[in-house]
Amino acid sequence: MDRLRRRWAGPGRVPSGPALKVISRLDVGALIDSLRAMSEMMRAMVASGFGGPDVFELKEIPRPVPGEGEVLIRVRASSVNPIDTKIRRGLLPHLAPDPMVLGCDSAGEVVAMGPGTGWQVGDRVMACSGGVVGYPGALAEYQVLQGSLCARCPDGLSWEACAALPLVGLTAEEALSRGGVRAGQRVLVHAGAGGVGQMAIQLARELGAEVWATVSTTEKAALARQLGADGVIFYREQRVADYVREVTDGQGFEVIVDTVGGDNVAKCFEAVAVSGTVVSISTRTSADLSPLHAKGVSLHVVFMIIPLLYDQDEPRRRQGQMLERISRLAASGRVAPLLDSRVFPFEQASAAHALLESGSALGKITLTGFPD
């Protein structure tokens, strides 16, 4: 009360009489609640609206609170994925979170949790559990994650490397699973130096497949071979019929992983073998499906955030298990994220998005979280 008297009376004055009565009627509890609320704000990079990379603004927003089955992490790193830029540009407005804190991938340490998570304070975790409608993303000091979607960060990997794994790793793993990839099969991965492509090459090699990758430059060809590709195809220089004849003796690839979409979907249909499988992660396009009928081809579509969007408990649990497997492979050095040499602080999210959209990055673009 003495402190309140000094605060309200001003320097050198101690309130008395009516002034003291005003102070005594203060709702001290409300004042404490207000001060506590102010201390529970956090920094975040918020997209002010749909548009170019310059829409990000540094703001103070309320710190989230974990509920049942959720954990609160201190975010240490994130990475940029094409879905982040598509949401920001307004191409997928129905997927935008509110507030528009983007960043599907995150890595950090658990600082609090709701009941029923199985995690402990201090655990180092990574996940693809936000950045879409209903789930604000990673570009903030703190983030609430679905506990079932989290996996332990691999020992020996930086925060940035951990944050580069979840979305691309899970997408590649699900694509290969849908494709039924097994030892001895010939698999074609489009855009082998891209985020999902690089992981698909490594995981397909783990399954014992013969892996080929399409690339655009000699530098990307070297990276694809470094990741384990048995061979590379320069798609700008070689027609589909030519590389199918040269690589497969005209038989086609048993499984094709399409990470490009658009006109490339039709090229996949041309390159796939009879009774083969095409798995695409980008099918927002129109295509003639008659080649599938003619060759008895199966087409699968992978959109790995569906369990999050549709609140599917069991698929989320399976994704958490898949990410744990990827974590173990990364810890043993059998798979590794390919990172672009440029790393951005969260405050430079605009520059990170611009780099991804330029097409000049070699590997995943990562961001380092806000300093303590």
pLDDT tens column, 243-275? 999 999 999 999 999 999 999 999 999 999 999
Pairing of β 339-345 and β 364-368 = parallel
For 7, half-sphere exposure in the C-beta direction (CA atoms, 13 angstrom radius) is 6
Residue 26 has pLDDT above 80, yes or no: no
Instruction: List the domain boundaries for the chain.
Output: 2-39, 42-165+306-368, 168-301
Beta-carbon contacts of 330 under 8 Å, excluding residues fewer than 6 positions away, are 154, 157, 161, 165, 336, 337
Determine the pLDDT at residue 284: 84
Q: What is the pLDDT of residue 341?
A: 95
CA 217 – CA 360 distance, rounded (Å): 11
CB 271 within 8 A of CB 246: no
The yes/no answer on whether domain 42-165+306-368 falls in CATH 3.40.50.300 is: no
Q: What is the pTM of this model?
A: 0.88
Question: Same CATH fold, 168-301 and 42-165+306-368?
Answer: no
pLDDT tens profile 1-21? 333 332 333 333 344 444 434
Specify the residue for token string 């069991």. 314
C-alpha to C-alpha distance for 262 and 89, rounded to whole angstroms: 18
How far is residue 353's CA from residue 238's CA, in Å, rounded to a whole number?
A: 31
Give the pLDDT confidence of 295-349 residue by residue, as tens digits. Answer: 999 999 999 999 999 999 999 999 999 999 999 999 999 999 999 999 999 999 9
Domain 168-301 indexed as CATH 3.40.50.620: no
Could you give the 3-state DSSP secondary structure of residue 155?
Answer: coil
Other Cβ atoms within 10 Å of 261 Cβ, number: 18
